Amino acid sequence: MNTFRYVLAVLLIVTVPPAVFVWFVIHPFVRFWRRIGPGWTYAVLAVPWIASMGLLFRARRILLGADFGTRWTLVALGVAVFAGALALSVTRRRQLTMKILSGIPELRKGDPGRLLTEGIYARLRHPRYVEVILGVISYALVANYLGGYVVVLVTVASMVPLVLLEERELRDRFGDAYDEYARRVPRFIPRWQ
């Protein structure tokens, strides 16, 4: 179990921060990236993305921090939270294809895609971000390293500004239709009826 927890913690600190960072580079400058297209965007961003993952991996011993050991109550809680993330993922995948998830419509000129308002998107506007947060929390609980909990805090703190940047871009693409949708549907926590 210790090896599994260690690998999970390393994956968490090496993959999550660079992935979040890439979207902070794309969303504010989407007009620039759209001009060069999705292929060049990802080619350009792959270099710092992979380099940052390599640097984080090299610094993993420092970044992992304290190992709090295997705590079976946290493992059970982490598995339960992961089950919630997985259920949300299965539901979300019915509408959010890999093409949309990877940002192709927002990076392609003249192809705004379509505004997703059905299925899980009728209940909350950003199920993918909720899924990411739940996934990161679940990994951190099972891994039980200080660095994993720091990644949770950074990820949760970064989601609100990231979502605001994405919503600005969605308003640019979909105009009043997005504003009306945003008035009806909450961002992260669904209304229970």
Sketch the domain layout of the chain as residue ranges: 2-184
Task: With CA atoms as reference, report the closest residue to 106 among 185, 31, 165.
Answer: 31
Q: Which pLDDT belongs to residue 96?
A: 81
Q: Is the dihedral of CA 164, 24, 28, 36 positive or negative?
A: negative
Q: What is the pTM of this model?
A: 0.91
Q: Which pLDDT belongs to residue 193?
A: 67
Q: Which pLDDT belongs to residue 98?
A: 81
Across 10-20, average pLDDT: 97
Across 81-110, average pLDDT: 86
**Which structure tokens are listed for 126?**
């950003």
CA distance 111 to 173: 9
Largest CA distance in the chain: 52
Across 69-93, average pLDDT: 96
- 145 phi/psi in degrees, rounded to 5: -110, 150
114-172, pLDDT tens digit by residue?
899 999 999 999 999 999 999 999 999 999 999 999 999 999 999 999 999 999 989 98
Class of domain 2-184: mainly alpha
Selected residue with higher pLDDT from 82 and 112: 82
